[in-house]
Amino acid sequence: MAARSKIVAGILDVLDEMADMISALRCDFDGMKEYVDDMDDDLCELEESFMMHQDHNVVETECPNCGEELFFESVLLDDDDVIEITCPSCNEVIYINDGSFDFDFDLDPDELETLEREGH
């Protein structure tokens, strides 16, 4: 029986070490996940800031499915090719320029005036 006890004790020691390693990995993973989420948020803010400072007319809208604030160039609305705009968060189709979507986008009055001048 002493041999069995030593084997069982050895197995328990190995399992205890494995549990400690898994716990450490989980802690590392949680830290990495938080870091990546922060980077994603920062990148979204940077992208929004960049898009707002472009010379292009930018359309701002909200995803009706998840509420994500979205930005895209207004030239996509009247492109000759069929273009499908999807929400990057939930992959919901936000707009297809084939006439199947009839809703107003939040355009700045200056942007609307510019679009009217350009014949859009």
Domain boundary among 53, 78, 97: 53
- pTM across the whole model: 0.39
Q: Counting beta carbons within 10 angstroms of the beta carbon of residue 6, is it exposed (0 to 12), middle (13 to 18) or buried (19 or more)?
A: exposed
**In contact, 65 and 56? CB cutoff 8 Å:** no
Instruction: With CA atoms as reference, report the closest residue to 67 among 82, 44, 87.
Output: 87
Q: Which residue's entry shows tokens 């679009």? A: 115
CA distance 87 to 94: 6
Same domain, 10 and 28: yes
What range does the domain containing 119 cover?
Answer: 56-120
pLDDT tens-digit map of 2-50: 888 999 999 999 999 999 999 999 999 999 999 999 999 999 888 877 7
Instruction: Determine the length of the chain.
Output: 120
Same domain, 3 and 34: yes
Of 48-52, 75-79, 110-114, the range with the lowest mean pLDDT is 110-114
| DSSP strand pairing (58-62 vs 93-96) | unpaired
Same domain, 31 and 13: yes
What pLDDT is recorded for position 119?
A: 54
Same domain, 41 and 62: no
